[in-house]
Amino acid sequence: MIREIVKEDYDKVLELAHEVHQIHLANRPDIYNDACSLPYNRFLDMLQSGYNFAYEENGNIMGIILGEVIESANIPLFKKRRVLYIDDIAVSKDYRNNKIGTKLYLKAKDKAIKDNLDSIELNVWAFNKDAIAFYQKLGLKEKNIKMEDILK
């Protein structure tokens, strides 16, 4: 069953966010610190968005999606837009490949359509080929490419 995340879910949500953080930390130690991946105050702020869902069976949270609505800045060059920004989709390693991530994404997408949002956006690291393939299966397309030249 998919349900909204509540503040009592923090420990399990943190555990799943930590799994994702460990992937980032292992692949980009030049960027990430080994620190709390979701501070409690940030978690509470995110709960206000209405775009945070958990996939739960028998009281066990197996996956989460964390998102928030972002409105574009008032810049004349760009059209005004309201976007669902996905901060995280995380499925416990024990439950991957069971369509949990897909179900969570579709739940958030349905809500975004009902709320008349313009798009869904997220960032994914180039090294994370599994995540890229997952997002492409969902129909997401590249919007832009961020490039870097590491100096140290």
Q: What is the pLDDT along the chain (152 residues), one digit of tens a residue?
A: 999 999 999 999 999 999 999 999 999 999 999 999 899 999 999 998 889 999 999 999 999 999 999 998 878 888 899 999 999 999 998 998 899 999 999 999 999 999 999 999 999 999 999 999 999 999 999 999 999 998 98
Residue 73 DSSP SS3? coil
Instruction: Write down the CATH superfamily of domain 2-137.
Output: Gcn5-related N-acetyltransferase (GNAT) (3.40.630.30)
The full set of domain ranges for the chain reads 2-137
For tokens 């313009």, name the residue.
118
Mind listing the pLDDT tens digit for each residue in 57-94? 999 999 999 999 999 887 888 889 999 999 999 999 89
DSSP string of 15-72, one letter each residue: HHHHHHHHHHHHH-TTT--SS-SS-HHHHHHHHTTSEEEEEEETTEEEEEEEEEEEEP
> Mean of the per-residue pLDDT values for the chain?
94
Euclidean distance between CA atoms 58 and 46, whole angstroms: 25
